């Protein structure tokens, strides 16, 4: 039911740690779910370390800090203070929706991530095509480019071959913040604010028609 809030949480430290953060995160997430339901807010959010983040924007920015998540430069939707009070910006709350049922026997389309870097050429793209030809169809590629999603010239011919084989190619950035916006004459669709990992999931859902 897309009208119900979906609230995700986690922990950065194990339950055996003296300063385990899991119990507080779980309590905060429960409070956010209750308050969102009371206000009629749906959508997907993540609650970590007192921050409430839109599910489509949240990303892990630190490998071990308890304050490890943000939204790629976007502000938190809300903050849960030490007393459990929810201070929020409801205007930015993610829209609710219904993605429908996902059949248990449905296998998601194969989508891989390839990074652009110095001296990159097309061998990884061609290798992915060859492997897919032998072991199963490759449906999509997400390219993690430098800066504003810039792809090394050595990749262009191989990506053109991939497109000719019916593979959908999206362009993202290796940079954590700022995203990639569409430009006139782009050969590949830009992923906006999505990271490469997020874009991979989005492309899988796009190819499934979800």
Per the structure block, which two tokens stand in for 52? 């409430």
* 106 found inside a domain: no
Per the structure block, which two tokens stand in for 4? 């119900």
Q: Are residues 116 and 202 in the same domain?
A: yes
Of 24 and 97, the one with more pLDDT: 24
Domain boundary among 42, 64, 92: 92
In this prediction, residue 60 carries a pLDDT of 92
Domain boundary among 64, 92, 120: 92
Query: How far is Cα 108 from Cα 206, in angstroms, rounded to an integer?
Result: 10
* 190 found inside a domain: yes
Whether 61 contacts 69, CB under 8 Å: yes
Give the residue ranges of DSSP H helices in 40-122.
none
Q: Count of domains in the chain?
A: 2
Q: Are residues 135 and 201 in the same domain?
A: yes
Q: What are phi and psi of 27, to 5 degrees?
A: -65, -45
Residue 80, exposed/middle/buried by CB under 10 A (0-12, 13-18, 19+)?
buried
Q: Are residues 200 and 143 in the same domain?
A: yes
pLDDT over 60 at 56, yes or no? yes
Per-residue model confidence as pLDDT tens digits over 59-72: 999 999 999 999 88
Strand ranges of the sheet holding 86-88, from the earlier edge strand across to the other edge: 6-9, 44-48, 51-54, 78-80, 86-88
Q: Are residues 152 and 188 in the same domain?
A: yes
Q: Are residues 137 and 204 in the same domain?
A: yes
Residue-range definition of the domain harbouring residue 22: 6-92
If pLDDT is split at 50, 70 and 90, which confidence band does 13 have?
very high
Query: How far is Cα 171 from Cα 141, in angstroms, rounded to an integer?
Result: 9
In this prediction, residue 124 carries a pLDDT of 92
In this prediction, residue 103 carries a pLDDT of 67
Query: How far is Cα 84 from Cα 26, in angstroms, rounded to an integer?
Result: 12
**DSSP helix/strand/coil, 66:** coil
Query: How far is Cα 21 from Cα 117, in angstroms, rounded to an integer?
Result: 37
* 105 found inside a domain: no
If pLDDT is split at 50, 70 and 90, which confidence band does 176 have?
confident
98: region left, alpha or beta (phi > 0 left; psi from -120 to 50 alpha): beta
Per the structure block, which two tokens stand in for 12? 């950065």
What value does the mean pLDDT of the chain take? 88
Q: Are residues 191 and 117 in the same domain?
A: yes
Contacts for 20-29: CB closer than 8 Å, 24+ residues apart: 21/49, 21/66, 25/49, 27/84, 28/80, 28/84
In this prediction, residue 40 carries a pLDDT of 86
Q: Which residue has the tokens 């929706």?
A: 97
Per-residue model confidence as pLDDT tens digits over 101-150: 666 677 889 999 999 999 999 999 999 999 888 888 899 999 999 999 88
pLDDT over 60 at 1, yes or no? no
pLDDT over 80 at 96, yes or no? no
């Amino acid at each position: 039911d897309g009208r119900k809030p979906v609230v995700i949480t986690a922990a950065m430290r194990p339950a055996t740690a003296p300063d385990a953060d899991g119990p507080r995160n779980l309590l905060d997430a429960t409070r956010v779910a209750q308050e969102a339901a009371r206000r009629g807010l749906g959508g997907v959010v993540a609650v970590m370390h007192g921050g409430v983040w839109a599910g489509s924007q949240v990303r892990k920015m630190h490998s071990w800090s308890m304050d490890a998540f943000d939204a790629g430069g976007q502000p938190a939707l809300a903050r849960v203070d030490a007393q459990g009070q929810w201070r929020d910006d409801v205007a930015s709350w993610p829209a609710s929706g219904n993605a429908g049922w996902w059949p248990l026997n449905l296998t998601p389309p194969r989508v891989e991530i390839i990074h652009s870097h110095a001296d990159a050429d097309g061998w990884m793209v061609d290798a992915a095509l060859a492997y897919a030809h032998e072991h199963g169809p490759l449906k999509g590629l997400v390219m993690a480019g430098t800066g504003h999603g810039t792809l090394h010239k050595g990749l262009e011919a191989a990506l053109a071959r991939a497109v000719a084989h019916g593979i959908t190619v999206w362009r993202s950035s290796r940079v954590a913040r700022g995203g990639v916006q569409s430009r006139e004459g782009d050969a590949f669709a830009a992923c906006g604010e999505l990271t490469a990992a997020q874009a991979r999931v989005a492309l899988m859902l796009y190819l499934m028609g979800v």
